[in-house]
Amino acid sequence: DDYVSGSFSGEFSAVTISGWARLTGVGNSGSLFSAYSGSTGVLYGRFLSASRKPSFFTFSAGGDADELTPSTQVPLSVWHHLAYVYDGEMKRIYLNGEEIASAPLSGAVFSFDNFEIGRSEKMPGKMFEGFLDEVRFYGRALSSSEIMEEYNELR
């Protein structure tokens, strides 16, 4: 039931969020990482509650909401490396170094001034149920080979 919150300012046309997650419960849709600026510029790398599917939700400064959710479920109590990547044209989700979902999203720009690790955008009921480690934010899109390298380096 712990989380970390902080502030940073920036405008991003490409971004990567990565980290290790071990789900222990499925009672809510807690985020590995959420970044936001007021009610716009929202970005979540999270798991959907009971389905245990990773999800990449974006709401860009232009007002377009989009959610990418693969059919892949992750088992409880097992560590997984996740990476959520937006490169200016595509959103991608990687699980243990392998791409499991992608969808077009062209030209989005995200403005952030706050972030949280382990909770979804200041929502007390949206705590991540499990453990997180090595959560990282990059102001650029990592390549698939960089994602695999990070996965292999940290496992």
Given a contact cutoff of 8 angstroms between Cβ atoms, the answer to whether 137 and 84 are in contact is no
**pLDDT, tens digit (0-9, with 9 covering 90-100), for 45-72:** 888 777 888 999 888 766 678 889 999 9
Q: How far apart, in whole angstroms, are the C-alpha atoms of residue 58 and residue 86? A: 10
Threshold 0.95, pTM exceeds: no
Match 């995200």 to its residue by tokens.
110
The closest alpha carbon to 17, from 78, 81, 84, belongs to 84
Average per-residue pLDDT in the chain?
86
**pLDDT, tens digit (0-9, with 9 covering 90-100), for 88-139:** 999 999 999 999 999 998 888 888 888 888 887 666 667 888 899 999 999 9
**pLDDT, tens digit (0-9, with 9 covering 90-100), for 37-51:** 765 568 888 887 778
